[in-house]
Amino acid sequence: AENITNEGGAEGRYRVLKNIMGLWLLQRVLQERQINDLPALIAATQVLPACRFIINPNDDRFINPDEMCSEIQAACRETAQPIPESDAELARCIFDSLALLYADVLHELAQLRGEDFSQLHIVGGGCQNTLLNQLCADACGIRVIAGPVEASTLGNIGIQLMTLDELNNVDDFRQVVSTTANLTTFTPNPDSEIAHYVAQIHSTRQTKELCA
């Protein structure tokens, strides 16, 4: 496994951790194109076909390029793909690529633990992007639970409540969050374009492994 580490948590727990790119690419595109209406952009993106433009969001070239839009277009050009020109095409490229990256990393972690995952939690501000949440569910083939938005703040409150003996442990706090926070569940659609794309990738990988 590559670039995987452990992170300590409450009650002496730890979790396996792999840092991957998030919505930084989109933030730069919004800034460069002076886009202020994100819901309108997502709506325009949603009607475009999936997986026409695919990049590796974890590539070092996307950490802090001079021009993110140009860098995304260059990556597509270098891999003989169509070039995303419009705002919606650039956003679609980012959303599809992130969902595929999440699916790839989830598969890597599942192999490491020797067991598949049954659901994926997306928290923080990014969980409000319903299109990306559904793409993640479809690409990963598992249920996605989005929320809470203020996950860091709630986590801090939870630790304080445990310190004050108002809650017994992390499991109790998770139960409170699951029944009180605004959570949205996204069910995978195996007939979606991105699900078919992932299935095709897996089939190609298996063929290569058999022929190796």
**Domain residue ranges in the chain:** 5-147+183-211
Q: Which has more confidence, 95 or 113?
A: 95
pLDDT of residue 131: 98
Q: For residue 192, what pLDDT is reported?
A: 98
Determine the Cα–Cα distance for residues 73 and 55; give it in Å rounded to an integer.
Answer: 9
Q: What mean pLDDT is predicted for residues 169-185?
A: 92
Residues 46-71 have a mean pLDDT of 98
- From the number of C-beta atoms within 10 Å of its C-beta (0-12, 13-18, 19+), residue 28 rates as buried
Cβ–Cβ under 8 Å, residues 91 and 129: no
Contact (Cβ atoms closer than 8 angstroms) between residue 135 and residue 95: yes
pTM of the model: 0.91
More confident residue, 10 or 139: 139
Instruction: Judge whether residue 211 has pLDDT over 70.
Output: no
The predicted pLDDT at position 66 comes to 98
User: Residue 67 pLDDT > 70, yes or no?
Assistant: yes
CATH of domain 5-147+183-211: 3.30.420.40
Q: Is the model's pLDDT at 206 over the cut of 70?
A: no
For the segment 119-124, the average pLDDT, to the nearest whole number, is 95
Give pLDDT, residue 212: 55
The yes-or-no verdict on residue 128 having pLDDT over 80 is yes
Answer whether residue 140 shows pLDDT above 60: yes
Q: Give residues with Cβ within 8 angstroms of 98, minimum separation 6.
A: 21, 22, 23, 25, 57, 132, 135, 136
